[in-house]
A and B are shown apart, each in its own frame.
Chain A
């Protein structure tokens, strides 16, 4: 049964330079506003349904602890994340960004990179911050 709650904590991994890897990924692509909207929408859903997740919200990867969100559209976004890793319930951490093309991740080793970041985070708990929304565009225009 789907339980809809509102107290899930979301975090983003920070690299050695202290940069939020998810924001860096979005800016580097660069991710268009429509994709940013789709991504924020799915993440807001995740924030509300931590237990007994609705079908299809996550997809497992070949790395045991790593899952990705499914965001379809012109660009198929596959942000990699894990539960916790410090609390087993009510906590998710985004570890790296990825897209998918022809059933292959870009970057190809995205799940492995996420696993490396997860291991790094477990050793250095300070390497994460509260999740930042993707609604900050370089040029916001009211249309």
Chain B
């Protein structure tokens, strides 16, 4: 357990302290995440403002860690501009301490829908499954689904590695 967590566990026994701490963290983390998401997409403030239907100075203000006048309506606009969904929920302080301890750039980055692995992964999986079924019905050497078999067995991204087509015999892959 980190020193920070140990320290917060002790200090959060005071209600006023924990609310003051978390209020400040929340403001800073939203502002920082907007900036991180914008930089992840390599957008300027002007581009984000255009996508969100706002003026650039407004984005500048919201990326300031001292900004505190958040509204759900504005955050929804920002979320839509990034092609993300806004998540608002009431949480216990234990969850918040974890967020504080994990406050890293990586943890704040989010993929837009087209890059969202949840959906991308699912459609690829469905495609490979269909190919497998097709192959099992007719396991011929000229079958186009062999590269997918090879990649899936070797657990590598489909776009990166080419299969060893020349050495493929049709018997190396079992499901």
Given known A2-B105, A4-B103, contact A37–B39 (CB-CB < 8 A)? no
Q: A140 to B4, alpha carbons, bound, how many Å? A: 19
- Say if the beta carbon of A27 comes within 8 Å of chain B: no
- Contact residues in A for B35 (Cβ distance below 8 Å): 2, 54-55
- Contact residues in B for A70 (Cβ distance below 8 Å): 66
Q: Are A37 and B64 in contact (CB under 8 A)?
A: no
- Contact residues in B for A57 (Cβ distance below 8 Å): 65
- Say if the beta carbon of A122 comes within 8 Å of chain B: no
Interface of B (DSSP majority class): helix
Q: Are A36 and B28 in contact (CB under 8 A)?
A: no
A7 to chain B, nearest CB (A): 13
- Say if the beta carbon of A61 comes within 8 Å of chain B: no
How many chain A residues touch B (Cβ–Cβ < 8 Å)? 32
Given known A37-B18, A45-B28, contact A72–B68 (CB-CB < 8 A)? yes
A138 to chain B, nearest CB (A): 11
- Say if the beta carbon of B14 comes within 8 Å of chain A: yes
Q: Are B65 and A34 in contact (CB under 8 A)?
A: no
- Contact residues in A for B66 (Cβ distance below 8 Å): 56, 70, 72
Q: Are A35 and B28 in contact (CB under 8 A)?
A: no
- Say if the beta carbon of B17 comes within 8 Å of chain A: yes
Given known A33-B16, A55-B35, A55-B64, contact A41–B10 (CB-CB < 8 A)? no
Q: Which of B14-43 contact A (CB under 8 A)?
A: 14-25, 28, 31-32, 35-36, 39
Cβ-defined partner of B17 (8 Å) among A2, A55, A135:
A135
Q: Are A2 and B36 in contact (CB under 8 A)?
A: yes
Q: A42 to B10, alpha carbons, bound, how many Å? A: 18
Q: A45 to B30, alpha carbons, bound, how many Å? A: 13
- Contact residues in A for B19 (Cβ distance below 8 Å): 34, 37
B60 to chain A, nearest CB (A): 7
- Say if the beta carbon of B11 comes within 8 Å of chain A: yes
- Say if the beta carbon of B155 comes within 8 Å of chain A: no
Binding site for A on B (CB under 8 A): 4, 7, 10-11, 13-25, 28, 31-32, 35-36, 39, 60, 63-68, 100, 103-105
14 additional A-B pairs beyond A32-B16, A45-B65, beta carbons within 8 Å, are A2-B39, A35-B20, A37-B19, A37-B23, A40-B11, A41-B20, A42-B28, A55-B31, A55-B35, A55-B65, A56-B31, A56-B65, A56-B66, A133-B7
**What are 18 sample pairs from A and B whose C-beta atoms fall under 8 A apart?**
A2-B105, A4-B103, A33-B15, A36-B17, A37-B23, A38-B20, A41-B20, A42-B28, A42-B65, A45-B65, A45-B103, A48-B103, A54-B32, A54-B35, A54-B65, A55-B63, A135-B17, A142-B13
